[in-house]
Structure 1
Amino acid sequence: MTSPSDAGLQAERTGLAWSRTSLGVAANAALLAVRELSHAQLTLALLPTGLAVVIAIATAVYGRRRTRALRLAPLPHPVAARGPVLLLGWSVVALAVLSGVAVIL
């Protein structure tokens, strides 16, 4: 149950969560890039870096869309987690696994 002082803050919290996720994925991309480029070789290990950049951009764009949708009153359509949210979530999980493999190898 939201109190009157919380009214309208859902969109802000949602936007901050999407921003944090996007920033975390972008930081992952930067760390992987620095690690691989310090070897002065272009290898398949840069694949997770590219994937992280794509996921970071997609997360930022989709997060901004969802935040804007939540700011509308009344909501134009249901904003429950749908395909893109699940796809981005599983993409982040796959990126975590690929990043772990890239660091080990």
Structure 2
Amino acid sequence: MRPMHAGPSPDAPGLQPERTRLAWGRTALGMLGNAALLSLNEIGAAGLAVALVPATFAVLIALVTVVVGRHRAALLRRSPFPARVAPALAVPVVGSSVVALAVVTGIVLL
């Protein structure tokens, strides 16, 4: 009978770094898509200056998301595995920014 495996060894993080990188990448891609759609919607209606405000906000969120995602994936690839892996500030800041962008997008599209 094979012994039950309790989880990944501390020296081999498994696929977690890859899944983390992909999740943050999808979020950044969504923010870039939001920026493009906001720009297309606003350029025809209100002019370029107004369209750049929410689109620039979305691009900035996407850039921060890419940086944070790369940092989180690198943290999870470390050996030995760090004792503290829970993000203290990055996830709440990016999450709040995504929610704020959703509100701005809703207001712009009304």
1:18-37 matches, cutoff 5 A:
18-37=24-43
CA gap of 1:83–1:3, structure 2 versus 1, over 3 A, is closer
Q: TM-score, normalised by structure 2?
A: 0.82
Structure 2 residue 103 is matched with structure 1 residue 100: no
Distance in 1 of aligned mates of 2:23 and 2:46: 35
Q: TM-score, normalised by structure 1?
A: 0.86
Distance in 2 of aligned mates of 1:26 and 1:43: 18
Contact kept in structure 2, 1:12 and 1:67, CA below 8 Å: yes
**Partner residue, 1:59:** 65
Larger Rg: 2
Residue 61 of structure 1: how far off its partner (Å) = 1.0
The letter of the residue matching 2:67 is: V
List runs of 5+ in structure 1 lacking aligned partners: none
Aligned length, in residue pairs: 103
1:35-74 matches, cutoff 5 A:
35-39=41-45, 41-74=47-80
Identity %: 48
List runs of 5+ in structure 2 lacking aligned partners: 1-5
Distance in 1 of aligned mates of 2:65 and 2:83: 20
CA gap of 1:3–1:83, structure 2 versus 1, over 3 A, is closer
Residue 45 of structure 1: how far off its partner (Å) = 4.5
Q: Deviations over 1:3-23 (max 9, x none)?
A: 68x951011111110011000
CA RMSD of aligned residues (A): 2.1
Structure 1: 4+ residue segments shifted above 4 A: none
